[in-house]
Chains A and B, each alone.
Chain A
């Protein structure tokens, strides 16, 4: 992934209290993407409480996640943690025989006491061979921030992906395929796949798949297109398996999505004319859909707090296509290589911050009095009460926002709080 870097913008690096989720939170959407998987966190009551606080407003007849809570006996070494885990997994699989993939998810407590979940996954996989695949990744707060949990989960799936040669032999097809990586909404995924077909790219696969057992192949001939910017580890691991990374900005907004699809088309040798023929009508329509939102957003000042690593591509979209002014873009983690195309599109002089000192950052927010603040739910209502409009950031990983056709909807997510403020009146 060597390549010339564009001029690096100056980045403010901060250390202090971070107001972010840990990687365990990724379970909240991954359990819906792969309904045949179960996510078993090995951690404390805090971990269990986190997930149910996030997802517990939905009522589950059959829970798709749970926590193996460590007790004092486990910490004191009085109980063999591995035996305990085996017992719990057997109990769980008895209740839920339809589970095909079991993720053992590491947490802060399990990592601090150095419980080897990778080994445990291997052992349990053997015990339940043929029934369920057991995998492991870390969602701990000390190692991962929010969406990085998905990066971990996908990396755990990679060793199970068949090689392209195996699949090609089975299907008597050429191994060339486009692999879209990162969770997409079902409708968005279908739409993008059909557009790639129109461009002449026939074999398109997704990671994660909709069923945990239907993993796409990977190997030489696989070209990798990242739909989400938070997949550093997954991208590197797929490249290690022989896939080739397509460099592109991320598919947010008309411009980003077009460039993203065009980059894939170029990688497959599709001519520019064909690309223009398929995509330009969509671009035209996408711009029309954006116009009313642009009216609300243009000239408004935006402050983005760190949360998901989606901040930079979103800021690029909101500034270039919606006319917003960027006060500061915060990101929990900046992968300069995977973000290079995005950084090059940002207005010169944009203030970027990596990491967080939440109180200092809030002081900057209060000083700047932006028109809209993108932030987490721990801060949104308090900032609203101070008179600032906010857009809560978590919604962006739960909404269909990718692709040219979704550009209007994506802009609407940001215009809505502003329109609402204007619409409410209690006089």
Chain B
């Protein structure tokens, strides 16, 4: 048993629903108790879809458990096929149905469904999660549909440069975008448009918007772009093994990653690298001018962003991409990096190592919250869950990854990928931070009645209630210790008063540093002088 206040991923059958609902012509029969239809809301409310997800639930109740639930499954399958006439059928179980073991996939296989391809899903709900469920469902569905096309063993790999011989533009598949993915709708549009600038066509986008017939065209492309490895990683590896299709695995989020992605793609397709993708003498590649992020980030208004301490958490792809953008393209200092995607833990660890960090691989919300508190960052880039921790800790926060809520499926064009994605990233990550002038003035004058500590007036919020800070009123040099620190350490009133003078967004870090400094020197008591000693010590 595991105590969960917030879960980063849903159960695996929600991943399967994401595949079915993203596609056209696919129906999913889900053996599940009454109530599990809540998942429909993810699509009709969060994604704001205008149709019901193509899912039929058996919605069994306690009284059905005494009867023949297998019969209920068969009846539901027959009715769903009759009513919705799908081009392919997914059959699977939710967590409770897994316990009663009716084998719905096997039941469906034994039914006469008029030749509809049936994919039986085995999604272990007590050990796997949503993204795994989505990846497995996509893989099983494509594998099932492409079985007749499998090349015989020993067939030579198709040449990714054959487009030239065939006298056509190269074409690629965009694999991985789904509903309830992070900004997939606009990423697909941005990448499609970007590719067309370089003379590359898109063959199939899947699963988002694809029909089963489209999946059967996947092998006609020259390469696969694995845009969302969490969902399409398994499929791309299988296509590589079975059909010899090359996969581009760089995720084009951020300027550097987008340019690297384009270079990799040109190499794979045997295309000549255009001049604008080649680094100039000053290291600047012309293509980056397609985005405003590099100039915005170089402009003097952004100078105060230098060294801002940022904590990053999310799915592996978005967390790794964010770490690169934050550290290299915005000049932040990454003080924590982690992911809940155990499947990609190795990649996250490697990215963290490059930044001199130990990656946090965990799906325990409390462990993530503790790590944030420990790192005392000035900005958290995380998921909807990190917004809770950030509120508790009073730290600005921006969402970079699923899980998301309705505000992260906006009406406006808001990709994360490509050059426009970088523009969106610049705006949304900088927005929660205090603006430069305000930051200076609050550092200088602490007694304002309107612009009080922690107040970010550009966010339009009312000033936070004045924190109970008895120490600030105590006379400096007062001998009694007020704060018990953590056990052995005590802050004097004078120490607390000096601490209160530190701007609030770095105060957490200063407190920790000073305490570490005091402990190192065996001091029991921290006064104002200790704080300045520590400050000088750590500035070296």
Q: Does B109 belong to the interface (CB within 8 Å)?
A: no
> Which residue from chain B places its CB closest to the CB of A363 in the assembled complex?
B83
Q: Flag if A68 contacts B35 (CB, 8 Å).
A: no
Question: Chain B: how many interface residues by the 8 Å CB criterion?
Answer: 62
B102 vs chain A, min Cβ distance (A): 12
A112 vs chain B, min Cβ distance (A): 5
B441 vs chain A, min Cβ distance (A): 28
Q: Flag if A88 contacts B1 (CB, 8 Å).
A: yes
Query: Which A residues from 42 to 59 make CB contacts under 8 A with B?
Result: 42, 44-46, 48-50, 52-54, 56-57, 59
Residues in A with CB closer than 8 Å to B99 are 75, 109, 112-113
CA distance A87 to B62 in the complex (A): 30
Query: Which A residues from 7 to 23 make CB contacts under 8 A with B?
Result: 16-23
Q: Does A74 belong to the interface (CB within 8 Å)?
A: yes
CA distance A54 to B35 in the complex (A): 13
Q: Flag if A44 contacts B11 (CB, 8 Å).
A: yes
A355 vs chain B, min Cβ distance (A): 10
Q: Flag if A19 contacts B48 (CB, 8 Å).
A: no
Residues in A with CB closer than 8 Å to B366 are 95
Q: Flag if B35 contacts A50 (CB, 8 Å).
A: yes
Query: Which B residues from 36 to 92 make CB contacts under 8 A with A?
Result: 36-42, 44-46, 48-52, 56-62, 64-65, 76, 79, 83
Query: Which A residues from 143 to 180 make CB contacts under 8 A with B?
Result: 143, 145
Residues in A with CB closer than 8 Å to B406 are 57
Q: Flag if B59 contacts A18 (CB, 8 Å).
A: yes
Partner among B2, B6, B407 whose Cβ is within 8 Å of the Cβ of A68: B2
Chain B 93-108: CB-based contact to A (< 8 A → 1; otherwise 0): 0111001100000000
The stretch that binds A, out of B124-132, B134-142, B166-174, B336-344, is B124-132
CA distance A142 to B406 in the complex (A): 29
Q: Flag if B59 contacts A17 (CB, 8 Å).
A: yes
Residues in B with CB closer than 8 Å to A74 are 1
> Which residue from chain A places its CB closest to the CB of B83 in the assembled complex?
A359
Q: Does B117 belong to the interface (CB within 8 Å)?
A: no
CA distance A247 to B79 in the complex (A): 43
Residues in B with CB closer than 8 Å to A23 are 35
Q: Flag if B41 contacts A46 (CB, 8 Å).
A: no
Query: Which B residues from 370 to 425 make CB contacts under 8 A with A?
Result: 384, 387-388, 391-392, 403, 405-407
Q: Flag if B37 contacts A378 (CB, 8 Å).
A: yes
Query: Which B residues from 189 to 223 make CB contacts under 8 A with A?
Result: none
Question: Given A46-B94, A56-B6, do A378 and B34 touch, yes or no (CB 8 Å)?
Answer: no
Q: Does A69 belong to the interface (CB within 8 Å)?
A: yes
Query: Which A residues from 350 to 396 make CB contacts under 8 A with B?
Result: 359, 376-382, 384-385
Q: Does A118 belong to the interface (CB within 8 Å)?
A: no
> Which residue from chain A places its CB closest to the CB of B49 in the assembled complex?
A381
Q: Does A66 belong to the interface (CB within 8 Å)?
A: yes
CA distance A92 to B62 in the complex (A): 31
Query: Which A residues from 393 to 419 make CB contacts under 8 A with B?
Result: none
Residues in A with CB closer than 8 Å to B2 are 68-69, 71, 88
CA distance A142 to B62 in the complex (A): 5
Chain B 280-315: CB-based contact to A (< 8 A → 1; otherwise 0): 000000000000000000000000000000000000
Partner among B38, B57, B64, B387 whose Cβ is within 8 Å of the Cβ of A50: B38
Partner among A53, A70, A79 whose Cβ is within 8 Å of the Cβ of B42: A53
Q: Does B10 belong to the interface (CB within 8 Å)?
A: yes
Q: Flag if B58 contacts A17 (CB, 8 Å).
A: yes
Q: Does B4 belong to the interface (CB within 8 Å)?
A: yes
B151 vs chain A, min Cβ distance (A): 38
Question: Given A46-B94, A377-B44, A381-B44, do A91 and B33 touch, yes or no (CB 8 Å)?
Answer: no
CA distance A19 to B79 in the complex (A): 16
> Which residue from chain A places its CB closest to the CB of B384 in the assembled complex?
A56
CA distance A396 to B366 in the complex (A): 34
Q: Does A206 belong to the interface (CB within 8 Å)?
A: no
Partner among B34, B42, B48, B124 whose Cβ is within 8 Å of the Cβ of A20: B34
Known: A46-B10, A49-B11, A91-B3. 12 other contacts (CB 8 A): A17-B37, A17-B59, A45-B9, A50-B38, A59-B388, A61-B391, A69-B1, A70-B1, A75-B99, A140-B62, A142-B65, A359-B83
Measuring CB to CB, which residues of chain A are less than 8 angstroms from any residue of chain B?
16-25, 42, 44-46, 48-50, 52-54, 56-57, 59-63, 65-72, 74-75, 79, 81, 84-85, 87-88, 91-92, 95, 108-109, 111-113, 140-143, 145, 359, 376-382, 384-385
What 7 A-B pairs come out closest when comparing CB atoms?
A141-B35, A22-B35, A378-B40, A385-B50, A84-B1, A44-B95, A108-B96
Q: Can you list 26 A-B contacts (CB < 8 A)?
A: A44-B95, A44-B125, A45-B9, A46-B36, A46-B125, A52-B6, A52-B403, A53-B10, A53-B42, A59-B388, A60-B391, A61-B391, A66-B3, A66-B5, A68-B1, A69-B1, A69-B4, A75-B126, A87-B1, A140-B62, A145-B35, A359-B83, A378-B38, A378-B40, A378-B41, A379-B44
